[in-house]
Structure 1
Amino acid sequence: MHPDVSADIADLDNTLKSVEAVVDIDELRRRIRELEDQAASPDLWDDQEHAQQVTSQLSYAQGELRRLEELRQRVDDLPVMYELAEAEEGVAAQEATTEADDERTALRAEIELLEVRTLLSGEYDQREALVTIRSGAGGIDAADWAEMLMRMYIRWAEKHKYSVEVYDTSYAEEAGIKSATFAVKAPYMYGTLSVEQGTHRLVRISPFDNQARRQTSFAEVEVLPVVETTDSIDIPETELRVDVFRSSGPGGQSVNTTDSAVRITHLPTGIVVSCQNEKSQLQNKAAAMRVLQAKLLERKRHEERAEMDALKSESGSSWGNQMRSYVLHPYQMVKDLRTEVEVNNPSTVLDGEIDRFIEAGIRWRKSETV
Structure 2
Amino acid sequence: MIRPQWVCRHCLSRIRPVWFLRPLAAQNIVKREFHASVRSSQQDEDLFLNESLLKRAKQLSTEHDTLEKQLIESFDTRVAARAGHLRPVSEALKQYEEAVENLELLRSMAEDTNSPLSSMAADDIPPTIDSIRSTSAALTTALVPRNQFASYPCTIEIRPGTGGSEATLFTNDLYKMYSSFFSLLRWQTNIISYQTHNEVGGEGCSELVMTVSTPESYDLLRHEAGVHRVQRVPATESKGRTHTSTATVMVLPKLGEDEGDFEHGTDEDPLAQLDMKEVRVDVMRASGAGGQHVNRTESAIRMTHMPTGIVVSIQDSRSQHKNRATAMTILKAKVAEKRRKEKEEEALSMRRGVVKVGAGRSDKIRTYNYTQNRVTDHRSGESNHDLPRFMNGEGIGAMIEGVKEWDMQRSVEVMLAMQEMEDEKKKQQQQQKK
TM band (smaller chain): 0.5 to 0.7
The answer on 1:323 being equivalent to 2:323 is: no
The answer for the alignment partner of 1:266 in structure 2 is 302
The one-character-per-residue Cα deviations of 1:70-99 (angstroms, maximum 9, x if unpaired) are xxxxxxxxxxxxxxxxxxxxxxxxxxxxxx
Q: Distance in 1 between matches of 2:322 and 2:188?
A: 16
CA contact (8 A) 2:224 2:249 kept: yes
| Amino acid aligned to 2:282 | E
Q: Which of 278, 284, 297 is the equivalent residue of 1:241?
A: 284
The answer for the alignment partner of 2:348 in structure 1 is 313
The answer on 1:159 being equivalent to 2:184 is: yes
Q: Distance in 2 between matches of 1:130 and 1:191?
A: 12
Identical aligned residues as a percent: 19
The answer for the alignment partner of 2:208 in structure 1 is 180
Could you say which structure has the larger radius of gyration? 2
| Amino acid aligned to 1:326 | Y
The answer for the alignment partner of 2:382 in structure 1 is 341
Q: Which of 226, 245, 249 is the equivalent residue of 2:254?
A: 226
| Amino acid aligned to 2:373 | Q
The one-character-per-residue Cα deviations of 1:290-348 (angstroms, maximum 9, x if unpaired) are 9856752432323543663464237554336111100112x211111111111111111
Task: Classify the secondary structure of the residue corresponding to 1:268.
Answer: strand
Alpha carbons of structure 1 residues 160 and 193: separation in structure 2 relative to 1, 3 Å: same
CA contact (8 A) 2:280 2:304 kept: no
Structure scoring higher RCO (CA < 8 A, sep ≥ 6) equals 1
The answer for the alignment partner of 2:7 in structure 1 is none
1:143-222 aligned at under 5 Å gives the runs: 143-172=168-197, 174=199, 175-209=203-237, 212-222=240-250
The answer on 1:363 being equivalent to 2:405 is: yes
Deviation at 1:239, TM superposition (A): 1.7
Q: Distance in 2 between matches of 1:356 and 1:349?
A: 10
Task: Classify the secondary structure of the residue corresponding to 1:169.
Answer: strand
Q: Distance in 2 between matches of 1:148 and 1:134?
A: 11
CA contact (8 A) 2:260 2:323 kept: no
Q: Distance in 2 between matches of 1:131 and 1:290?
A: 21
Q: Distance in 2 between matches of 1:367 and 1:182?
A: 30
Q: Distance in 2 between matches of 1:132 and 1:350?
A: 18
The answer for the alignment partner of 2:333 in structure 1 is 298
Cα RMSD (Å):
4.1
TM-score (norm 1): 0.53
TM-score (norm 2): 0.46
Q: Distance in 2 between matches of 1:178 and 1:294?
A: 28
Q: Distance in 2 between matches of 1:344 and 1:304?
A: 37
| Amino acid aligned to 1:191 | D
Alpha carbons of structure 1 residues 222 and 238: separation in structure 2 relative to 1, 3 Å: closer
Deviation at 1:207, TM superposition (A): 2.0
Q: Distance in 1 between matches of 2:154 and 2:346?
A: 29
CA contact (8 A) 1:224 1:298 kept: no
Alpha carbons of structure 1 residues 214 and 286: separation in structure 2 relative to 1, 3 Å: farther
Deviation at 1:215, TM superposition (A): 1.8
CA contact (8 A) 1:120 1:191 kept: no
| Structure 1 segments unaligned to the other structure (5+ residues) | 1-116, 248-255, 276-280
| Structure 2 segments unaligned to the other structure (5+ residues) | 1-140, 267-273, 350-355, 413-434
Q: Distance in 2 between matches of 1:145 and 1:286?
A: 39
The answer for the alignment partner of 1:134 in structure 2 is 159
| Amino acid aligned to 1:334 | V
Deviation at 1:158, TM superposition (A): 1.1
Alpha carbons of structure 1 residues 359 and 291: separation in structure 2 relative to 1, 3 Å: farther
CA contact (8 A) 1:167 1:288 kept: no
The one-character-per-residue Cα deviations of 1:102-130 (angstroms, maximum 9, x if unpaired) are xxxxxxxxxxxxxxx99893221111121
Alpha carbons of structure 1 residues 273 and 246: separation in structure 2 relative to 1, 3 Å: same
CA contact (8 A) 1:142 1:217 kept: yes
Deviation at 1:160, TM superposition (A): 0.5
